[in-house]
Amino acid sequence: MAPPILLLQDIHLTFGGTALLEGADLSVESGERICLVGRNGSGKSTLLKLAAGLIEPDGGRYFLQPGTTLRYLAQEPDLTGFATTRAFVESGLGPTDDPHAAQVLLEALGLTGEEDPARLSGGEGRRVALAHALAPEPDILLIDEPTNHLDLPAIEWLEAALKSSSSAIVLVSHDRRFLENLSRTTVWLDRGRTRRLEQGFGAFEAWRDKVFEEEERDLHKLDRKIAMEEDWLRYGVTARRKRNQRRLGNLHDLRTSRREHRHAPPTAKMAVAESDISGKLVIEAKNISKTFGGRTVVEPFSVRIQRGDRIGIIGPNGAGKTTLLNMLTGELDPDTGWVKLGMNLEIASLDQRRARLDPETSLRATLTGGGSDMVMVDDKPRHVMSYMKDFLFTPEQARSPVSALSGGERGRLMLALAFARPSNLLVLDEPTNDLDLETLDLLQELIGDYSGTVILVSHDRDFLDRTVTSVIASEGDGTWTEYAGGYSDMLAQRRGGSGGGSDKSDRKPRKQSTAAAGGPPSDRRRMTFKDKHALETLPKRMAALETEIAGHQKTLSDPDLYTRNPGAFASATERLTRAQEELARAEEAWLELEMLREEIEGTG
């Protein structure tokens, strides 16, 4: 094994009386590809700053091989003090570096080098910072959330650039596909300590779950041993005093070990408040277009979105994704064409800029609207502290202003606001920004279980593959095309020349066989993640519907109900019909998926 060119050993660091790192290690060899993973707030960014030498630890060993060059890309780079973007990138070059590298990288990232750093968008600022880090071709690259604010073309360019780089890389990211494609070693920062897996991120989650299972098993054994020793203490302390004292000391040690054990951090308990079912047709758009300042961002485009569809909208920054989303939901009038919204729509939305958040308002007041301790969730009052806990906020944060929250915390707050409102259409604009992997997992499950319709904008390829049934993609020059399936399916259709078509106005979205869509499986002879998830969850859903139907039938079996309470009779009849229709769709979807599974496995 080659000696490390960077070593952090037994690192301890305390912030505000709370121990953040308690014996963390990080070693980097030449050319290594390491992903650093952990929950939001676990200390990943802090460990990177320690590795970059930007902050000093309270204790531990730090070693950087003499002559080793190192570059650090922060989550929020500071570009102040430079007249142009080229000047900022060139400031990171050494006397032996290629003087043309700055301009080459800036142009590759879609910039000229003459931009004023003070006027850059978040995505442009991130591109300039990437050029600053990559231009010197350092021995070690420390990169913190490089895909934040980048669009898909920029993410794929960066991925290719890092793959071809000779630098050792330590990478923090919430983008699963990015981590899977780049990492060969995984370092997991959990409860102040690090564990190392000599495999890439693709093997991490199964390994993490195994560690948690073993930890719970060991904790259970410890609890049993403490219980046995306490039983002895109550009934068995008699003779052999020295032995008893030693055993009593052991019991105190066991109790101390149990008390000092740090449990795995909790997981958010998000749930969407769902309203009454919408009509079958949710949105119909015909030949809609939009032009700003002589530039067309949406050419005439038509689409029909039906109940249960999960639609992903993708494209480069500036292509018009949010504009198209706003036209489809009635927030923005098209220049031409028309949009028809379906019956009984209740929309809950999350915008990527978190514009609904007042930075000076406290977390508590943001959730309650001020002047109350209750949050209306699904039209029912719930204490704000209880609801905050579901989204991993502590009671101490209740009075903190929104400006004090991290990016991930602001994202969870927006989800808490959006999900409290009863809805049958979720509109999510970049929902994955700043969320950790575990919260992303939960959000994916929530979207999978949601009985309504979902429209989302995202640059996260893995998230799209796991959640959507069709993709509306920018083809450039204001042209938009719908493709069946997720992001990977879209790429396959583009390579195969399908999915586009010259007459978009007559195209209808193809749906995969999910419980929500209720349609036939596509002609792909494989099961997607969503198909497998639906096959596993549909039986439980059908059982729940059968129980619900039985309850309604029991209510309607009362011969005096109509006379006594006509409103209750009408409501029970309507709910019975709705549940029976949903059960029929679920049974049909499950049967088709089961037949597909048997066909694939050759058991049918």
Known binding-site residues equal 38-45, 315-322
Kindly give, in sequence order, each residue whose CB lies less than 8 Å from that of residue 61, ignoring residues fewer than 6 positions away: 7, 8, 9, 10, 11
Q: Are 364 and 399 in contact (CB under 8 A)?
A: yes
Q: Are strands 18-28 and 6-15 parallel, antiparallel or unpaired?
A: antiparallel
Q: Which amino acid is at 77?
A: P
Give CA 174 to chain center in angstroms: 7
CA distances from 396 to 17, 260, 382, 416, 546 (A): 15, 22, 18, 17, 44
Q: Is 168 left (phi over 0), alpha (psi -120 to 50) or beta?
A: beta
**Residue owning tokens 């993973």:** 37
Q: Rounded to a whole number, what is the distance in angstroms from the first to the last CA of the chain? A: 52
How far apart CA 411 and CA 265 sit, in angstroms, is 18
CA angle 178, 34, 111 (to 5 degrees): 50
CA distances from 364 to 192, 381, 389, 396, 404 (A): 29, 14, 12, 10, 13
**Residue owning tokens 């042209």:** 479
CB under 8 A, 24+ apart: contacts of 18-23: 19/192, 20/46, 20/192, 21/46, 21/47, 21/50, 21/57, 21/192, 22/191, 22/192, 22/193, 23/60, 23/192, 23/193
How far apart CA 72 and CA 47 sit, in angstroms, is 12
Angle between helices 122-134 and 101-108 (to 10 degrees): 140
Q: For residue 556, with 0-12 CB atoms within 10 Å meaning exposed, 13-18 middle and 19 or more buried, which class applies? A: middle
Q: Indicate the annotated binding residues for ATP.
A: 38-45, 315-322
CA distances from 492 to 94, 192, 496, 497 (A): 43, 42, 6, 9
Query: What is the secondary structure of 136-203 as a DSSP string?
Result: T--SEEEEESTTTT--HHHHHHHHHHHHH--SEEEEE-S-HHHHHHH-SEEEEEETTEEEEESS-GGG
Q: Are 137 and 162 in contact (CB under 8 A)?
A: no
How far apart CA 384 and CA 398 sit, in angstroms, is 9
How far apart CA 548 and CA 560 sit, in angstroms, is 21
How far apart CA 47 and CA 23 sit, in angstroms, is 11
Give CA 180 to chain center in angstroms: 15
Name the H helices within 334-383: 363-368
- Specify the DSSP element, H or E, that contains 381: strand 380-383
**Residue owning tokens 């795995």:** 264
Query: What is the secondary structure of 196-263 as a DSSP string?
Result: EESS-GGGHHHHHHHHHHHHHHHHHHHHHHHHHHHHHHHH---S-HHHHHHHHHHHHHHHHHHHH--P
